[in-house]
Amino acid sequence: MLPLQGIKVIDVTTNISGPTLTMILADLGAEVIKIERPGSGDEARKMAPIVHDDGTYFININRNKKSVVLDLKLQESLDIMYEMIADADVFVENFRLGKADKLGLGFERLKEYNDRLIYCSLSAYGQNGPDRFKAGYDAILQAETGLISITGSTELSRIPVSILDQGSGIWGALGVVTAILQRTKTEEGVKVDTSLFETGVFWSNYHLLSTILTNENPKKLGSSHASFAPYGAFHTKKSPVMIGISNDRLFKKLCDVLGKSSWITDVRYASNENRVKYRDELNKEVQLILLHNSADEWITIFNEAGVPASKVQSMQDVFKHPQTMSNNMVIKNEHPTNGNTFVTRIPITFNQSSFPIRTGSPILGEHTEEVLSQLGKSQQLTKE
């Protein structure tokens, strides 16, 4: 039996953040009924690259869900929603703040139909503050929360994954699961809130708190680390490697491997504090030595010596990586219209068992008839 089996979730989210949240709940066993607009459905269906009918974003984060088409601008569709809510455990939305209330789907309204309902709102900027009504986009929030200011080296760079969309989805899922646990004690529903902005501030915690302490903004360090040296990516004879030296013990191991025992007593490098201070000089010396061998040769040497290091892998490398395969992180999934696709499983196991991908992402409206018939309704009610 899956942990959330028996939990029913009504999902009106779109794009990435909300669907990531409900994907986690679905993978953990919840019945997730995804409400989509007529005609086009979730905007993520058309986010490139497209497989056959749907984008890879949509395919990955909408598995294990049911798709029901409803036009929420119609009173008939709202009435159907209210009937579904009466029998649901969780409702999740990621509208721009205030839109759910305008649609008749706000927390206070839905409580009238189900006082045990766990209502999760995933917004861009949070429930308070002057920007709370603004729409949110991952890259914009990366800039707003300072992440872009510390990412990359000389050029401005965004973190090239939807880290705030997916991160806020993870926080939202944790909030929902916690609320489900709390409800077993209180028998009452609760409103769970999270946002991209709050997630961005939380991710930047180390840099933010250091700035408060020193009154200085962090420098862009590329692959390096503000607190440790040598720490970062270095070129070799063939392809780069990443080295992470975070204490004196590991630095001694690196010195032994590189044939530089003199660095251990060199006043510039003897302590981590000084190594950070003389980072540029140290990195140049390490770089010159690493150019003598290939990445594969160095990784073999580092692994034998216990020096933390890795080749900088491409996505093709990651797909074929023994760890990816051994941990079954990428799963082949059959789809009725998209053919054979792949999805990444959530990185949680219970007793060494991962949670199954029970069904692929749904065809638009695939489950409308099934869900509405359970309510004694006709699918015609969803059509204008």
Both 302 and 158 in one domain: the answer is: no
| pLDDT for 382 | 45
The answer to whether residue 165 is catalytic is yes
pTM of the model: 0.93
- Same domain as 120, residue 17: yes
DSSP reduced 3-state for 282 = helix
Q: Which two tokens stand for residue 134?
A: 């603004």
Here the CATH number for the domain that contains residue 258 is: 3.30.1540.10
Half-sphere exposure of 29 (CA within 13 A, CB side): 10
Q: How do residues 342-365 score in pLDDT, each as one tens digit?
A: 999 999 999 999 999 999 999 999
Domain-located, residue 211: no
Judge if 80 and 42 occupy the same domain: yes
- In this structure, the answer to whether residues 306 and 349 fall within a common structural domain is no
Residue of 144, 128, 170 whose CA lies nearest to 17: 170
Instruction: Give the pLDDT mean for 299-322.
Output: 96
Nearest one of 239, 222, 223 to 313, comparing CA atoms: 239
Position 19 scores a pLDDT of 98
Amino acid identity, residue 176? V
Res. 270: pLDDT tops 80: yes
Q: Are residues 159 and 265 in the same domain?
A: no
Same domain, 96 and 121: yes
The pLDDT score that the predictor gives to residue 380 is: 57
Contacts of residue 109, defined as CB under 8 A and 6 or more positions apart, other chains included, come to 101
Q: What is the mean pLDDT of the chain?
A: 94
Cα–Cα distance, 209 to 317 (Å, whole number): 36
CA distance 98 to 106: 8
Choose one of 288, 311, 334: the last residue of a domain: 311
Q: How many domains does the chain have?
A: 2
Rounded-to-integer distance, Cα 264 and Cα 252, Å:
6
CB-count burial class (<10 Å; 0-12, 13-18, 19+) for 158:
middle
Q: Is residue 364 part of a domain?
A: yes
> Do 158 and 93 touch, CB atoms closer than 8 A?
no
pLDDT tier, 53 (very low <50, low <70, confident <90, very high otherwise): confident
Is pLDDT above 60 for 331?
yes
The per-residue pLDDT for 381 is 52
In a domain, 162, yes or no: yes
In single-letter form, the type of residue at position 287 comes to Q
pLDDT, mean of residues 209-222: 92
Please compute the mean of the pLDDT values over residues 8-26 and round it to a whole number: 98
16 and 77 part of one domain: yes
Compute the distance between CA of residue 260 and CA of residue 252 in angstroms, rounded to an integer: 9
Q: 368: closest CA among 9, 35, 19?
A: 35
Q: How far apart are CA 225 and CA 232, in angstroms?
A: 7
Percentage helix, strand, coil, to 5, in the chain? 40, 15, 40
Asked if residue 173 and residue 26 are part of one domain, the reply reads: yes
> What sign for the dihedral angle of Cα 348, 68, 360, 165?
negative
DSSP annotation string for 181-194: HHHHHH---EEEEE
Which residues, in sequence order, are bridge partners of residue 309? 243
Residue 211 is predicted with a pLDDT of 94
Question: Taking residues 248-275, what's their average pLDDT?
Answer: 97
Distance CA 214, CA 129 (A): 27
Q: What is the mean pLDDT of residues 16-32?
A: 98
Residues 41, 157, single domain; the answer is yes
Q: What percent of the chain has pLDDT over 90?
A: 91
Q: Indicate the residue type of 99.
A: K
Domain boundary among 286, 311, 336: 311
**CA dist., res. 17 & res. 124, Å (int):** 10
19 and 62 co-located in one domain = yes
Is residue 333 assigned to a domain? yes
- Among 311, 342, 363, the domain boundary falls at 311
Q: Given a cut of 50, is residue 315 above it in pLDDT?
A: yes
* Inside any domain, residue 228: no
Whether the predicted pLDDT of 379 surpasses 70: no
Domain range enclosing 47: 8-203+325-382
Angle at 5 between CA 3 and CA 8, to 5 degrees: 125
Strand partners, 49: none
Considering 165, 248, 256, 280, which one is annotated as catalytic?
165
The whole-number pLDDT of residue 341 equals 87
CATH number of 63's domain: 3.40.50.10540
Considering the domain architecture, whether residues 196 and 289 belong to the same structural domain is answered as no
159 part of a folded domain? yes
In a shared domain, residues 331 and 303: no
Distance CA 330, CA 348 (A): 13
1 lies in some domain: no
Rg (CA), the chain: 25
Q: Are strands 118-123 and 90-93 parallel, antiparallel or unpaired?
A: parallel
Does residue 213 sit within a domain? no
The amino acid at 16: I
Find tokens 């890795």 and name the residue.
Answer: 310
